[in-house]
Amino acid sequence: MSYKTIKKHGTGEFEEKKSIFTGNVKRVSSEEEARDFIESMRNKYKEARHNVYAYIIGENKGIQRYSDDGEPQGTGGIPVLEVIKKNDITDCVVVVTRYFGGILLGTGGLTRAYTKGASLAIKDAGIVEKVEGTHIKVVIDYELLGKVQYICGQNKWHIENIEYTDKVCIEMIKENSMLSEIEEQLKDVTNGNVEFSKVREGVFFKEGFRLYEEI
């Protein structure tokens, strides 16, 4: 399992022919959360003419909804939805708010404006990957620490924590697909003098070479 979503709440604003467009995006895990966010944006921008939205939810992107919120059909919700699809992300909702400036933009102008509003918000939010991983502990003798740190550095295996007791306990969070390779290489560099244990298996956020429980 691996899919992309946004890193954090993002926003972006611009003016187009005196209309102000403000895009907001939030990570969600259910339609209820998406609807709550849409309602919160409507309350925040009470004086706005339109709050166009779209969202995609689920690892397989099975839930997809959008609304033009009074704009000509196909000029708001679908362009926002297409931006989400183009970024290949899910579990997120985008709301693009428009304060009407008195000048009509036409269907093409509206499509471009709502596309830009969604794109700016997603760019501000950033994108991360969600993957299946495991929080592991590696226990070694003190004299092996340098070798283990070196091999971790060479492979860009981020070390979350090192605890020093009668032995050295190293904690890492890694993708499940990497566990066999990590175990094999550490056994090789320590001549088998290493102990492995699993702290927790689950879904983690991946950014660069590091996995996070929350982000």
Claim to verify: residue 63 and residue 154 sit in the same structural domain: no
pLDDT at 126: 96
Domain end (from 73, 97, 125): 125
Q: Where a domain ends, among 125, 140, 159?
A: 125
pLDDT digits (tens, 9 = 90+) for 106-149: 999 999 999 999 999 999 999 999 999 999 999 999 999 999 99
Q: Which of 106, 125, 144 is the last residue of a domain?
A: 125
**According to the model, what pLDDT value does residue 215 have?**
85
Q: Kindly tell me if the per-residue pLDDT of 1 is higher than 90.
A: no
Q: What is the pTM of this model?
A: 0.87
Mean of the pLDDT values across residues 49-69?
97
Let me know whether 104 and 185 are in one domain: no
- Rounded to whole angstroms, how far apart are CA atoms 159 and 14? 42
Nearest to 45 by CA among 21, 28, 68: 21
Query: Structural domain of residue 202, as residue ranges?
Result: 131-212
Look at the chain and report how many structural domains it folds into.
2
Closest to 23 in 3D by CA, of 120, 108, 92: 120
Residues 156 and 77 in one domain: no
Beta bridge partners of 78: none
Q: What is the pLDDT of residues 75-113, one digit of tens each?
A: 999 999 999 999 999 999 999 999 999 999 999 999 999
Do residues 204 and 138 share a domain? Answer: yes
Same domain? 171 vs 107: no
Q: pLDDT for 20-48, tens place per residue?
A: 999 999 999 999 999 999 999 999 999 99
Residue 101 maps to which CATH number?
A: 3.30.230.30
